[in-house]
Amino acid sequence: MKSHIEIQLIEKSKIDSVDFNNLPFGSVFSDHMLEIDFKDGAWQTPIIKPYSPITLDPSAKIFHYGQSIFEGMKAYKDAEGKMMLFRPLENCRRLNKSAERLVIPQIPEDVFMDGLKKLLEVDSDWIPTNEGSSLYIRPFMFATGNGFHASPANAYKLVICTAPSGAYFAGKVKVLIEEKYARAANGGVGFAKAGGNYAAQFYPTQLAIEKGYNQVIWTDDNSHQFIEEAGAMNIFVRINDTLITSPTSDRILDGITRKSILQIAEDAGIKTEVRKISVGEVVEAAKNGNLKEMFGAGTAAVISPIAGFGYQENDYDLPELENPFASQLKKKITDIQTNKVEDPYGWRVFL
């Protein structure tokens, strides 16, 4: 049964002021947003309303104890104007997995999906049709309950905002393998999309930028001898013709793009391995010419190729390949996402 959704439409759209040919990532926002409050032990009626500020009491627990989680997903239009999402239930389930870890109430899947679909229906004109563009979707949940006591809140809010966006990254990036700081630890919240995970990344990333790199390759918290993620993305390493990625754990996000890449690569006859990858193995492969590719994988960029990496004051460049796995896999995924090819996996969800 469809959820009842209250709809408050904007008086005048701002869409005519947007240059859809020059869209920055995630900084132009659509007309409406979805809000659902949790209070008195239950989720309340979803409301679609004009995009606007959120007012909170200064004692709201989000400000003090960081109960905040989010997701990232995209909507697309094909050449005929059909609207679609890519594996949206995976995002909803991961949001609820994050919610459980941070003691935030889980959102029923039907409520989430009904609200999201209705929001996209209301703002359908905001879904770009330009090549490489999409409507970025940001669901997030946070504590609104008041009080300075260090305990879970008694009230929460789910918001879904959307932003028509161009490509996330332009070109290849140069990364620094981190030797001191850690993104996450065993038993922690690294597997969750908790806001604090990303806040803690900013400082070491800024240090890397000051050294001339674009991003950080995170290593394990204990020995710093195994690579785990690339910035805010999962990481893939190609040694000879084998594509390798780290196994998910308490420290590593179960990326939807990551598992899509593994499935598509295997079906394309590319050998894949899910195992620990030591820094020493990567450095040695770079020295002897067996390291062919490294790339990050995530919703925003889909695949972001890495041009080179730094480690212990040494820089290593990756070769320029004629038909890299990164390009092949990105095309296969984006073609499925935009309805240019058949979807043998049932990942595409039409609205």
- pLDDT, tens digit, 9 for 90 and up, residues 239-287: 999 999 999 999 999 999 999 999 999 999 999 999 999 999 999 999 9
pLDDT tens per residue across span 328-350: 999 999 999 999 999 999 999 99
For position 157, what pLDDT does the model report? Answer: 98
Domain with CATH 3.30.470.10 in the chain: 6-165
Task: State both tokens at 318.
Answer: 């990756």
User: In which band, very low, low, confident or very high, does the pLDDT at 169 lie, cut at 50, 70 and 90?
Assistant: low
pLDDT tens per residue across span 196-205: 999 999 999 9
Query: What backbone phi and psi angles, to 5 degrees, belong to 208?
Result: -65, -40
Task: State both tokens at 112.
Answer: 């989430």
- Say what percent of the chain tops pLDDT 70: 98
For position 170, what pLDDT does the model report? Answer: 60
Between CA 55 and CA 20 the distance in angstroms is 30
Q: Domain 6-165 class?
A: alpha beta
Residue 1, pLDDT above cutoff 60:
no
Closest CA to 44 of 35, 56, 31: 35
Tell me if 259 sits within 8 A of 328, measured CB to CB.
Answer: no
For position 167, what pLDDT does the model report? Answer: 74
For position 84, what pLDDT does the model report? Answer: 97
Secondary structure of residue 157 in the 3-state scheme: strand
For position 132, what pLDDT does the model report? Answer: 87
Tell me if 333 sits within 8 A of 261, measured CB to CB.
Answer: yes
Mean pLDDT of the chain: 96
For position 86, what pLDDT does the model report? Answer: 98
Q: What is the mean pLDDT of residues 86-94?
A: 98
Closest CA to 277 of 256, 267, 291: 291
From the candidate CATH numbers 3.20.10.10, 3.30.1300.10, 3.50.50.60, 3.40.50.2000, the one assigned to the domain spanning 173-335? 3.20.10.10
Domain with CATH 3.20.10.10 in the chain: 173-335
Between CA 324 and CA 335 the distance in angstroms is 17
Tell me if 30 sits within 8 A of 126, measured CB to CB.
Answer: yes
For position 131, what pLDDT does the model report? Answer: 87
- Say what percent of the chain tops pLDDT 90: 95
For position 283, what pLDDT does the model report? Answer: 98
Secondary structure of residue 170 in the 3-state scheme: coil
Between CA 25 and CA 198 the distance in angstroms is 17
Longest CA–CA span in the chain (Å) reads 63
User: In which band, very low, low, confident or very high, does the pLDDT at 306 lie, cut at 50, 70 and 90?
Assistant: very high
Between CA 279 and CA 265 the distance in angstroms is 23
pTM: 0.95
Tell me if 138 sits within 8 A of 113, measured CB to CB.
Answer: no
Between CA 237 and CA 231 the distance in angstroms is 14
In this structure, which amino acid lies at residue 100?
A: E
Residue 48, pLDDT above cutoff 90:
yes
Between CA 96 and CA 105 the distance in angstroms is 8
Neighbours of 277 (CB within 10 A): 24
For position 248, what pLDDT does the model report? Answer: 94
How far, CA to CA in Å, does 279 sit from each of 90, 217, 253? 31, 10, 20
For position 166, what pLDDT does the model report? Answer: 87
Helix axes 256-267, 88-101, angle to 10 degrees: 140
Closest CA to 231 of 273, 279, 183, 275: 183
Task: State both tokens at 225.
Answer: 């001898």
Burial track 133-142 (b if 16+ CB lie within 10 A, e otherwise): bbbbbbbbbb
